[in-house]
Amino acid sequence: MHILVTGGAGFIGGHIAESVAEDGHDVTVLDNFEPYYDTGLKRHNVEIAREAASQSDGSYELVEGSVTDAELVDDLVANADVIFHQAAQAGVRTSVEEPKKVNDYNVTGTLNLLEAIREHGIERFVNASSSSVYGKPEYLPYDEDHPNEPVSPYGASKLAAEHYTRIYNEVHDLPTVSLRYFTVYGPRMRPNMAISNFVSRCINGKSPVVYGDGSQTRDFTYIDDVVDANRKLLTDDSSDGEIMNIGSTDNIDILTLAKAVRDEIDPTLEIEFADRHDSDAEHTHADISKANELIGYEPSRDIREGVKEFISWYQQNRDWYEPLVLSS
């Protein structure tokens, strides 16, 4: 099977590309190496996936370019069987400062893919969405019928991409699915996320910094579970046209998370606090019953188990990972 992974040098896309390459599929990765964080981490993701392909019967090709390039997208889609669309301009706070850029990548880029699929056909298009589409909770946990009122341009752009993905399924009968991720973490995670920041600071003897009072809660999802959800859609066509939450079984407040990381590494450190950004969500918590029913999705770890695994991985890979974290 020929699989196209957009944003395939990033955190989630890199893990997906590695996984399907390891299974012997022919993988093409499209990534523009946007310097939102140190691109050395993205280069490392590429080498890991390329090595996985070399150990299997599959192949790996990296194409440096953007989903905003409609002609390039059309050429790549013409040769693909399945597309995992992970490319996006990430960052809730970044989106407040550069909303047009976020719209170009997240909305126009998705439309370019959908138009190319309409022209060439495909077996499945899996769109990476986000819990940011929900906004302020009317109730928790969020189910897929919860009102969508995003509080950032990033959330609005992901919701627009979701709607286009659904519409192309309904109007053009394209085999599309959208997965709403809830704060994904794990090995090779982006260095500007809370968990990686807490861990890097504590390992280096610095206090973890919590934004706000730490009462905000998050549903954290381990990277292996996100990869598993995507892989289930390689062959499962029962979810075409659907939108599904991909989260964990619990959530945790940020202050408790910071303390858990601190206590695992250096209990003598004090917690520091800084001003919180207005565009940050107050709470997230996923109802995953729909994904469980449709594709048999089940998270494998709770946040405390996952954090311990990430700390262990960080310590084992500190020589190359930490410099990239500290430089971002």
Residue among 96, 87, 84, 86 at smallest CA distance from 69: 87
Distance CA 269, CA 276 (A): 21
Residues designated as active site: 154
Q: What phi and psi, each to the nearest 5 degrees, are found at residue 322?
A: -60, -40
